[in-house]
Amino acid sequence: MPCTVIVGGFFGDEGKGKIAAYLAMRDKPDICIRGGNGPNAGHTVIHGGVQYSLRLIPSGFVDPSTSLLIGPGVPVDPTVLLDELRKTDSERRIEVDNQCAIVEPRHKEQESRSDHLSKKVGSTKSGVGACNAERALRMVKLAQQIPSLKPYVGDTVGEVQKALSENKKIMIEGTQGTFLSLYHGTYPYVTSKDTTASSACADVGVGPTQVDEVIVIFKAYVTRVGEGPLEGQLDRDEVARRGWTEFGTVTGRERRAAPFDFKLAKRAVQINGATQIALTKLDVLFPTAKGAQHIEDLDKGAKAFISEIEKQTGVPVTLIGTGPKEEDLIDLRTVSRSARIQAAPIVRRN
Ligand code: IMP
């Protein structure tokens, strides 16, 4: 912290929910604010033995003292939001920006009727793209016009700016992944807005100079749901053999998979201006890493993989996911660089 942005580095589904939940429990941010796109996103959080699939509420909800905000750049589907508020018991600490665009049922219908979106792009058909298009035409409804949202609507940008001026801790949560960005992704197989750190900041009304850390999240292998290119894609049997088979949080579709892509990782680090990398599911690649909480517990192969990521991207890997639970994680943020080099051994920047 104090102002940290977290974003996905590949095609979404990197484990942003897990990392955000860990950071919330560990760092106790005063505010967790959701930027990024709308309820087409799905963030999985396992907390207190319960699995939550969140599409709008910030994953930091796990810390009961954190204020939960949704920034004005995020399209909001009131049905999804109200359902999540109940499931997470967060009604008393949520604030939705009065300028959030509203996803209406007709947006979902519009996307379902479109062969281009359904068949070619492989959209989640959550209505988010149609809503963003309508916002660009300046015809969309805003949260301040919706009676069911009245108790939750406010000026989130004012809240965040006040917190920043008081040097409070803020976590900004982006969605999807860098290469699903409307600008930087594999167009047209992308989502309906930019998904990089700069946009996540703009979504919540935070300027570039107000950010301290940008954490880009990579999974130990690459997955992609929906259509579009995936370099090094493995066939289904091989994916299953490696234990990489996964299903989408929002649509339940089977994800395609490929080995970790160093070239894409480097580009994601650049585009997001990343200062740190969080690496998830290391235990899926290296089973001996399962549940590890210390770098010393990793075997040579796992350490070499981490070193290679640092070498090729020039950014330190500071958080390493070793299992689905919040506590299955190695946190190197407070470990000095020299200690980490000895433990890993980590190869330095190019
Ligand atoms: P849309 O944004 O729902 O229209 O989907 C456009 C593309 O982005 C499709 O390939 C989706 O599968 C993908 N997509 C959208 N949101 C997510 C996400 O949260 N995780 C992974 N893929 C996503």
To 10 degrees, the CA torsion angle through 33, 191, 255, 233? -120
Residue 186 C-alpha to ligand 1 middle, in angstroms?
12
Give me the helices (H) in the chain, please: 16-27, 78-88, 105-113, 115, 128-136, 156-165, 197-204, 236-241, 262-272, 282-285, 300-313, 337-343
- Residue 343: per-residue pLDDT: 52
CATH assignment of the domain containing 116? 3.40.440.10
Quick check: CB of 110 below 6 Å from ligand 1?
no
Domain count, the chain: 1
Residue 258 C-alpha to ligand 1 middle, in angstroms?
18
Quick check: CB of 280 below 6 Å from ligand 1?
no
DSSP 255: P
Angle between helices 128-136 and 105-113 (to 10 degrees): 110
- CA 251 to ligand 1: nearest atom: 12
Catalytic residue flag (residue 331): no
Q: Give the range of the structural domain holding residue 193, as residue numbers without chain letter.
A: 1-7+26-176+188-210
Contact 269, 8 (CB under 8 A): no
- Residue 250: per-residue pLDDT: 77
Residue 313 lies in a domain: no
Give the largest CA-CA distance in the chain.
Answer: 58
The closest alpha carbon to 199, from 3, 35, 42, 39, belongs to 35
Quick check: CB of 42 below 6 Å from ligand 1?
yes
Give me the helices (H) in 114-182, please: 115, 128-136, 156-165
Task: Supply the Cα-derived Rg of the chain in whole angstroms.
Answer: 19
Quick check: CB of 122 below 6 Å from ligand 1?
yes
Contact 17, 324 (CB under 8 A): no
Residue 301 C-alpha to ligand 1 middle, in angstroms?
33
Beta strands 329-331; 317-321: pairing state: antiparallel
Residue 324 lies in a domain: no
Nearest CA to ligand 1 atom 20: 12
CB-count burial class (<10 Å; 0-12, 13-18, 19+) for 296: exposed
Residue 325 lies in a domain: no
Residue 176 C-alpha to ligand 1 middle, in angstroms?
7
Residue 129 lies in a domain: yes
Catalytic residue flag (residue 13): yes
Residue 99 lies in a domain: yes
Per the listing, tokens 């309820």 go with 39
Quick check: CB of 99 below 6 Å from ligand 1?
no
Residue 310 lies in a domain: no
Residue 21 lies in a domain: no
Quick check: CB of 29 below 6 Å from ligand 1?
no
Rounded average pLDDT per 10-residue block, the chain, 350 residues: 94 95 96 98 90 95 97 98 96 97 98 95 96 98 98 98 98 98 98 98 97 98 95 96 90 93 98 98 97 96 98 98 92 72 45
For residue 182 the two structure tokens come to 């409307």
Q: How far apart are CA 291 and CA 330, in angstroms?
A: 9
Residue 197 lies in a domain: yes
